[in-house]
């Protein structure tokens, strides 16, 4: 049965009901459930939407709803087709003969578009939603996966977070639509050549949002209006960030900052990484190794640097806060066995609980902000459970299987709400994971603990581009990779230089990594009990490498006005900072095939060197006229060319007539 209810369509048959309603311009939200009613108040990634005029019609054959350029037709058997300006773009997949008796028999497969497998004794089901595959379709976005494919057609993706994997389930199609799987359940999506299949392991209802537009830029504009836009990136964050595995003491960090200052190399942010605390869950510096945090911050500020400190949501059993957190019910639970699963004897703070978020923020203010600390690095944000036992974890809002992908969003919200309540509007939090909507909470996502190899660097480029298309414009990576970089290896120095050149043109330029050879612990207790990596400053790799990296930092400084404008586009219009070629050149068919070049903003085309030993690379210049950054020659676009790329050069091209200062 099809019914018009105010500005939406309701379909009911047997125990299923489906609601189709407008949600922003040129967009529809679709929910379905076998429960008695829809779950209200759980918009997850979506913000409340203003009312928009729609056209609804119902007859004996079915119903349709039109919101601007998008239309949904639903037949009397509940099968939906979506159209953009009258042209079909997405249709549900059905192969079912056991339909109502007046439906022609079409298949004995008994596959319906929406299938529910109830979990006995609960209000949740495993829900599978299928769509017909479109021949020749290209799909992008979906977050950060450690794979080489930019075009996701043909891929299967886990809808779950892991260290270096962030599921942000918004997909962009070259057919002119974008779709958000607005469900935080652990699941899977397959973009196969014969079917597209979305699956949620445990949920009470299906929920997705679909929009249409002529260009990827229009789709991002609509999506960011529906889920929120990043704040304006603060100016200090546009420069170079210095970090390593961990500075073991206050004096070590200050000496590094002083050396940058002495050399006249500007640093925007200095970072104090993990285990500067006595125990996980203390959320404070260990005074034995960091005796005067306020004096340290004052000195950094005098040199024009901000201090960012690492925050983990893990709590050791012997932390000074563990007992209180346990009594208040602020810790993540395990349905079976011990909750102490991280690094031997630690568990996680339940940041899905707003009271637990306030508790953590109060500790951060008491122990860090009061001493002059500026920024927080929200690490372990997936969270990183040993073995990722999704079926055994329970939050205040429900099971991990049902709600788990919300954890990093709630974690970012902790800092955002705290800074906002304190009247600070320049909020940026480095975080190791994200979900749809995290961008509105000032989440700067980095790609996790990745390997120091050329192949891995290549993968990060793809990850960053798809994160931008998934609506997360603030993205960065460990320049040089995290694992296995050896400061004594000339091959690693080459990799680091090439990665540093690439990182210069990322939304945030941040050097980090666990370098070999390791240094011994300072003691057997507290913040001195862990080893650290070798030095990881620009002068740690020889004079040639230092000169090249210093030159790139200088270039980054000269690009500040341009970067500021790109950040403003992200803030005001939802545009990625780091963009695929087709994003800026959607009418260029070749641009849709390029996955090893990118635009920074509107006018800077970056062609990184991604192979060991390469001193040139093949470059595609999109249509138009382009000026070489280094040789200042003018090149006609719409063609391939071979670009010189000695070790001190990354091929970069500026749209003719733009950025004359570079």
Catalytic residues, by residue number, are 379, 382, 449
Name the strands in the sheet holding 306-311, side by side, starting at the edge strand that comes first in the sequence: 475-476, 443-446, 429-431, 375-378, 306-311, 269-272, 240-242, 509-511
**Selection from 451, 431, 556, 462 nearest residue 513 by Cα:** 451
Do 257 and 227 meet the contact criterion of CB atoms below 8 Å apart? no
> What is the distance between the alpha carbons of residues 338 and 346, in angstroms, rounded to a whole number?
10
Do 452 and 481 meet the contact criterion of CB atoms below 8 Å apart? yes
Can you say whether residue 38 is alpha, beta or left, with left for phi > 0 and alpha for psi between -120 and 50 degrees?
A: beta
Do 78 and 39 meet the contact criterion of CB atoms below 8 Å apart? no
Name residues whose C-beta falls within 8 Å of residue 153's C-beta, 6 or more positions apart in sequence. Answer: 137, 138, 139, 191, 193
Classify burial at 516, counting beta carbons within 10 Å of its beta carbon; exposed 0-12, middle 13-18, buried 19 or more: middle
For 132, the token pair is 């017909």
SS3 readout for 369-386: HHHCCCEEEECCCCCCCC
Torsion of CA 257, 260, 264, 269, to 10 degrees: -60
Q: Indicate the DSSP class of residue 340.
A: -
For 93, the token pair is 């997949």
Do 125 and 114 meet the contact criterion of CB atoms below 8 Å apart? no
For 171, the token pair is 């997909």
> What is the distance between the alpha carbons of residues 56 and 42, in angstroms, rounded to a whole number?
25
Do 481 and 453 meet the contact criterion of CB atoms below 8 Å apart? yes
For 263, the token pair is 């050399």
């Amino acid at each position: 049965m099809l019914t018009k209810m105010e500005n939406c369509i309701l379909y009911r048959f047997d125990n299923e009901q489906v609601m189709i309603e407008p949600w922003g311009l040129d967009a529809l939200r679709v929910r379905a459930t076998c429960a008695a009613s829809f779950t209200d108040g759980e918009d997850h990634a979506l913000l409340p939407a203003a009312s928009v005029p729609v056209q609804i019609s119902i007859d004996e054959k079915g119903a349709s709803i039109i919101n601007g350029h998008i239309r949904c037709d639903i037949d009397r058997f509940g099968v939906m087709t979506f159209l953009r300006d009258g042209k079909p773009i997405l249709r549900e997949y059905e192969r079912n003969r056991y339909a109502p008796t007046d439906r022609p028999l079409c298949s004995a497969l008994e596959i319906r578009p929406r299938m529910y497998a109830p979990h006995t004794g609960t209000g949740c089901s495993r829900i599978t939603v299928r769509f017909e595959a479109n021949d020749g379709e290209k799909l992008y976005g979906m977050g950060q996966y450690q794979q080489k494919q930019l075009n996701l057609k043909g891929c299967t993706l886990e809808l779950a977070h892991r260290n270096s994997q962030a599921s942000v389930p918004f997909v962009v199609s070259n057919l002119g639509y974008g779709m958000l799987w607005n469900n935080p359940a652990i699941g899977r999506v397959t973009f196969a050549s014969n079917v597209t299949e979305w699956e949620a392991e445990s949920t009470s209802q299906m929920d997705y949002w679909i929009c249409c537009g002529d260009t990827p830029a229009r789709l991002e504009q609509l999506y960011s209006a529906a889920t929120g836009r990043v704040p304006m990136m603060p100016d200090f964050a546009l420069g170079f960030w210095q970090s390593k595995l961990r500075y073991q003491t206050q004096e070590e960090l200050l000496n590094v900052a002083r050396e940058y200052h002495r050399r006249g190399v500007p640093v925007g942010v200095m970072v104090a990484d993990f285990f500067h605390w006595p125990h996980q869950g203390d959320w404070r510096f260990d005074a034995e190794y960091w005796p005067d945090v306020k004096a340290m911050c004052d000195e950094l500020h005098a040199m024009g640097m901000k201090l960012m400190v690492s925050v983990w949501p893990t709590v050791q059993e012997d932390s000074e806060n563990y007992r209180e957190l346990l009594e208040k019910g602020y810790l993540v639970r395990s349905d079976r066995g011990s909750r102490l699963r991280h690094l031997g004897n630690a568990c996680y703070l339940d940041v899905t609980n707003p009271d637990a978020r306030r508790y953590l923020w109060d500790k951060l203010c008491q122990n860090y902000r009061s001493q002059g600390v500026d920024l927080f690095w929200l690490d372990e944000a997936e969270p990183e459970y040993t073995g990722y036992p999704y079926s055994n974890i329970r939050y205040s809002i429900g099971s991990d299987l049902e709600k788990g992908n919300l954890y990093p969003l709630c974690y970012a919200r902790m800092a955002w709400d705290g800074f906002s309540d304190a009247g600070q509007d320049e909020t940026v939090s480095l975080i190791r994971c994200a979900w749809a909507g995290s961008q509105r909470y000032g989440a700067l996502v980095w790609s996790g603990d990745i390997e120091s190899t050329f192949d891995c660097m290549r993968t990060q480029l793809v990850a960053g581009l798809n994160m931008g298309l998934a609506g997360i414009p603030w993205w960065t990576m460990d320049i040089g990779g995290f694992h296995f970089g050896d400061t004594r290896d000339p091959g690693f120095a080459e990799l680091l230089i090439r990665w540093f050149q690439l990182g210069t043109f990322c939304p945030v330029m941040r050097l980090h990594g666990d370098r070999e050879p390791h240094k011994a612990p300072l003691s057997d207790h507290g913040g001195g009990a862990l080893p650290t990596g070798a030095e990881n400053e620009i002068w740690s790799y020889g004079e040639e490498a230092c000169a090249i990296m210093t030159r790139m930092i200088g270039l980054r400084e000269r690009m500040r006005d341009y970067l500021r404008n790109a950040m403003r586009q992200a803030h005001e219009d939802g545009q990625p900072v780091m963009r695929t070629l087709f994003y800026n050149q959607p009418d260029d068919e070749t641009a849709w095939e390029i996955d090893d070049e990118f635009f920074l903003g509107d006018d800077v085309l970056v062609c990184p060197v991604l192979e060991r030993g390469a001193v040139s690379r093949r470059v595609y210049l999109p249509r138009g006229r382009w000026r070489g950054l280094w040789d200042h020659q003018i090149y006609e676009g719409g063609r391939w060319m071979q670009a010189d790329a000695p070790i001190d050069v990354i091929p970069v091209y500026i749209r003719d007539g733009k950025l004359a200062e570079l």
